[in-house]
Structure 1
Amino acid sequence: MFDCKVTDIFFDLDHTLWDFEKNSALTFAKILENHKLQVDLDDFLEVYSPINFQMWALYRENEISKSALRYQRLKQTFDALHVYVSDDVIDSLAHDYIAHLSSFTHLLPNTVQTLEYLFPKYKLHIITNGFQEVQERKLKGSSIHHYFQKIIDSEMAGVKKPDPYIFELALDMAQVRPQNSLMIGDNLEADILGAKAMGMQVLHYNFHNDSEHGVCTMINDLIEIKNIL
């Protein structure tokens, strides 16, 4: 199905291999309790999730800083819930969230089975917009770090997907041509269109139940990769 022989596969991490939603929910359950905040977790997450998504979109476009992302996604959530939380507590929660997030290690279904299948056949790598100090801990904590030869993050690159440079850096570090590379990720704009613009082959993991777009093949479960590669 691919135009050229694939030798290297680049994965996104959050929402592609690492179960961000489940691990994030467990983290918030822990830190909200630790701070004795009387907030219903389900209500909090229902409001927080779209705000976080919006903040990440702004961060990806360099419209807000990392510190602003971490503060605003919490501040806006509490404001929407009409719960007063001081800035000092929000800053503490933001710190604790990053500190505890990688301690939870749930992976998306069939992650390990898929990596075990691919590992002997391809060189595997990570390209992530996540924060450098967190992503390594996620990979090691969930026991999948050893599958990957190169781990490229946006802080290392100085830009975020879909900026061409992060893909250029990844290809250079892996010493592979774009046409022999495959990018697998959940975000159509950042992962799929970004990699495709660099001449990489692409496979869209449909974590968000996106509509069919015709850009490339979509899969709904990582195990489907075994029928493609």
Structure 2
Amino acid sequence: MFDHEITDVFFDLDHTLWDFEKNSALTFAKILVDNKVKVDLDGFLEVYAPINMQMWTLYRENGISKSELRYQRLKQTFDTLRVPISDEVIDVLAHDYIAHLSSFTHLLPNTVQTLEYLFPKYKLHIITNGFQEVQEKKLKGSSIHHYFQKIVDSEMAGVKKPDPYIFELALDMAKVKPKNSLMVGDNLEADILGAKAMGMQVLHYNFHRESNHGECTMINDLIEIKSIL
């Protein structure tokens, strides 16, 4: 399937290994109650999810800062729901969200089984656009930190996927050539096209149930990696 022998496998974290949607929902269930914000949780999450994705796209493209992302995704959600809320409460929610998010530890199906299978055979690493102070806690809290040799995040690199430099940095830290590396991620632009442009092999974990794009092999469950590697 791959043109060259794979020695190193690089994973994205959110929506690839770590169940962002479930853990995020549990975080909001806690912090909205803690801060006495009266809003229907399911209705809130339904509006929040696409706005959060839009904000992350803007952040990835350097259209907004980290602090703007954290504020705007909440502000726009409450505005859409027509729930009056002060900036002070939004700031508290934004802080509490980051403080509590990593305390929830749900992984996507077959994450541990897949890592257990790969761990003796390959060197495993993480490349993530997530925030440094949160991603380490997610990995440790969900008990998968020990599987990974190098963990590269966008704050460390100073750029975000799909910028070539973050992949270049990760490859350099892992001391591996692009052709012997495999990138596994959920985001077509950031993970797949970004890594492919660097000469890495790629595998698209189709978390978002996108239609087949022809750029590379797509998998719908992590356990499928066992039959590929």
Smaller-chain TM-score range? over 0.9
Which residue number in structure 1 is paired with residue 218 of structure 2? Answer: 218
How far is the alpha carbon of 1:129 from its aligned partner? 0.1
Q: 1:1-229 to 2 correspondence within 5 Å?
A: 1-229=1-229
In the TM superposition, what whole-angstrom CA distance separates every residue of 1:118-171 from its partner, at most 9, and x where no partner exists? 000000000000000000000000000000000000000000000000000000
How far residue 222 of structure 1 moved from its aligned partner, in angstroms, is 0.2
Query: Deviation at 1:217?
Result: 0.2
Q: What is the DSSP-based 3-state SS (H/G/I as helix, E as strand, rest coil) of the residue aligned with 1:106?
A: coil
The superposition leaves residues 28-52 of structure 1 with CA deviations (integer Å, 9 ceiling, x where unpaired) of: 0000000111100000000000000
Letter aligned with residue 198 of structure 2: M
Structure 2 SS opposite 1:183: strand
SS at match of 1:91: helix
Q: CA deviation at 1:211?
A: 0.6
1:203 alignment partner, SS class? strand
- 2:143 partner amino acid: S
Q: TM-score, normalised by structure 1?
A: 1.00
> What is the identity percentage for the equivalent residue pairs of Structure 1 and Structure 2?
86
Unaligned runs of 5+ in 1: none
Per-residue CA shift, 1:177-221, capped at 9, x if unaligned? Answer: 000000000000000000000000000000000110000000000
Secondary structure at the counterpart of residue 121 of structure 2 = coil
Count how many residue pairs are aligned between Structure 1 and Structure 2. Answer: 229
1:54 Cα deviation after fit: 0.2
- Structure 2 spans left out of the alignment, 5+ residues: none
What's the CA shift string for 1:76-133, capped at 9, x where partnerless? 0000000011000000000000000000000000000000000000000000000000
Letter in 2 for 1:222: L
Counterpart Cα distance in 1 of 2:7 and 2:211: 29
SS of the residue corresponding to residue 126 of structure 1 reads strand
Aligned equivalents of 1:106 and 1:50: distance in 2? 21
Counterpart-to-counterpart distance in 1, 2:92 and 2:186: 30
Aligned mates of 2:196, 2:103 — CA distance in 1: 33
Cα RMSD of the aligned pairs, angstroms, is: 0.2
